[in-house]
Structure 1
C-alpha cells in the first residue's frame, strides 16, 4: 500500500515544454488505457473514449488547430500561429479524452462527464506509475466546434482534456498545495 500512497503523493503536472521522448511503448499505452477505463461508470455506459495523437498525427492535429485560430485571428503573425500549431506536439504522446455523455433515463449527463474526468485522472496516474510524467490540459481548442470536428469528434462529443505524456526533461518543483483547514469542513 505504501507504494500506491507514494505514487499519489508524488504526482505532479509538469509544463508540456518539459516533456520529451521517450514516451510510452505501445504495450504501456494499452496498459494506461486499460487502467483509465476502470473508472466509476454508473450504468456501465462507457460515456467516454480516447483519441491517440502521436508521431505525425500530432502535426496534422496542429494544422487543424492553427487553421481555426487563423480564421478567428487573421492578423496574427506567423510566430503566434506556430504556437497554436504546436499545441499537441510538445510531448511524444497526447491522449484526447472525449466525453460521449448524453441523455439517459437513469444516469445524469453530469455523472457521465465526471466518469470521463476520472479517466483523465487515471491516465495521469498510470503514466506516473510507469515512470513517465503527464499533464492534463484543455485550452480553447478543446471547446472549438471546428477543431473538435477536424479531430474526429461527432457533434455531441466534447473533449474533457488532452493528457500529454512523456519523459521529464528536467526535475520539477512541487507547487504549494492547499492547507486542509482551508478546504475541509465537517457537517
Structure 2
C-alpha cells in the first residue's frame, strides 16, 4: 500500500528531504557556523537534564593526525586487519572536509538509565544532521569497531565510562543535495486496537 500525498508544511517537507551522503567536498562549515549547527544538538530530549552531548570537531591540518589515531585504534582492535581496510579508513578520515566525534558523557550510577542518556546523545546527532541540511551542508554518520579502544577514547578526552556514538563526516555535497528513496511509511507504522500489532516491514 502506498500512502497518498497530503499537503505538507514547508518544515515537514524539509525534514522529509534529508538524506545522507559521504560524497562531500569543501567547504565545511566555518568555526562560527558549526557552533550554531551543534547548538541544535543540545535541543534533543534530555530526561533528567543529564546533558550527555559532547562534540569534538576535527578539521584542517588535524585531520591527517586524527586519521593516524584511527589506524592505531584499528590495529589495537584487530592486529590482523587487512591493509586495504586500513588505507581506506585512513583516506576517508583524512579527506573528509570535517569530522565530528560524537561523544557521550555518561553517568553510570546516575538517576537516569544509561540507555536514556545514550538515546539523548543519538537524538542530538540527528538534530545536528538536520541542522547541517538546513544550512546547505551534508553529513554522514559512521561508526567503527575501533571506537571503543581506551587509548583512542582518551586521546579525544573520553576516559571511561564516557564513550563515542560514532562520527559525522561533514562537508558540502559534491553533486548537490542528495535524494534517497525511502521505504513506504505504511510498512513501519500500526495503530494499536487492543491486540498485538504486525508490521508490513516484518513480513
**TM-score higher than 0.5:** yes
Give 1:64 shift. 1.1
- Please name the residue that 2:106 is paired with: 101
Go from structure 1 to structure 2 and tell me whether the alpha carbon gap of 1:65 and 1:125 turns closer, same or farther (over 3 Å shift): same
Take 2:143 and 2:153, find their aligned partners in 1: how far apart are those partners? 12
1:73 correspondence with 2:79: yes
Larger radius of gyration: 2
Q: Which runs of 5+ in 2 are unaligned?
A: 1-7, 193-203
Take 1:43 and 1:9, find their aligned partners in 2: how far apart are those partners? 30
Q: Which runs of 5+ in 1 are unaligned?
A: none
Take 2:156 and 2:90, find their aligned partners in 1: how far apart are those partners? 13
Take 2:92 and 2:162, find their aligned partners in 1: how far apart are those partners? 20
2:55 corresponds, among 50, 57, 62, to 50
- Please name the residue that 2:157 is paired with: 152
Give 1:146 shift. 3.5
Take 1:26 and 1:89, find their aligned partners in 2: how far apart are those partners? 19
RMSD between aligned residues: 2.1
- Please name the residue that 1:177 is paired with: 182
Take 1:143 and 1:87, find their aligned partners in 2: how far apart are those partners? 19
Which consecutive aligned stretches of 4+ in structure 1 deviate over 6 angstroms post-superposition?
none
Q: What is the TM-score of this pair, normalised by structure 2?
A: 0.81
